[in-house]
């Protein structure tokens, strides 16, 4: 069986093959889990008021603060698998 790191990396590649686009919220959830699974806790400064996209991404990543790398990777793989069944023809 593949290691968690291998499954995480495979999921990051597999998510690019979706034929339909997930919702913005789903994409933000994936982003946050990916960042937490690769970088750890968000230590960056909160983006400015007028950079709405960056602000949302920052908020979603900040919401998973404290989640271990392994837990974030497991959740990311599970979400990708869920979205593959939902958004891939």
pLDDT tens digit at each of 89 positions of the chain: 799 999 999 999 999 999 999 999 999 999 999 999 999 999 999 999 899 999 999 999 999 999 999 999 999 999 999 999 999 87
pLDDT of residue 12: 96
Give the whole-angstrom CA distance, residue 77 versus residue 9: 9
Whether residue 18 contacts residue 88, with contact meaning beta carbons closer than 8 Å, is answered with yes
Whether residue 10 contacts residue 80, with contact meaning beta carbons closer than 8 Å, is answered with no
CATH number at residue 56: 1.20.80.10
How many domains is the chain partitioned into structurally?
A: 1
Give the whole-angstrom CA distance, residue 24 versus residue 40: 22
**Domain extent for 50:** 4-87
pLDDT of residue 88: 82
């Amino acid at each position: 069986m593949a290691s968690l790191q291998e499954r995480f990396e495979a999921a990051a590649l597999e998510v690019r093959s979706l034929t339909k686009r997930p919702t913005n919220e789903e994409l933000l959830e994936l982003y946050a889990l990916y960042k937490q699974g690769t970088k750890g806790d968000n230590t960056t400064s909160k983006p400015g008021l007028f950079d709405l996209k960056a602000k949302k991404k920052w908020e979603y990543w900040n919401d998973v603060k404290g989640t271990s790398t392994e837990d974030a990777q497991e959740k990311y793989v599970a979400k990708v698998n869920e979205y593959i069944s939902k958004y891939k023809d």
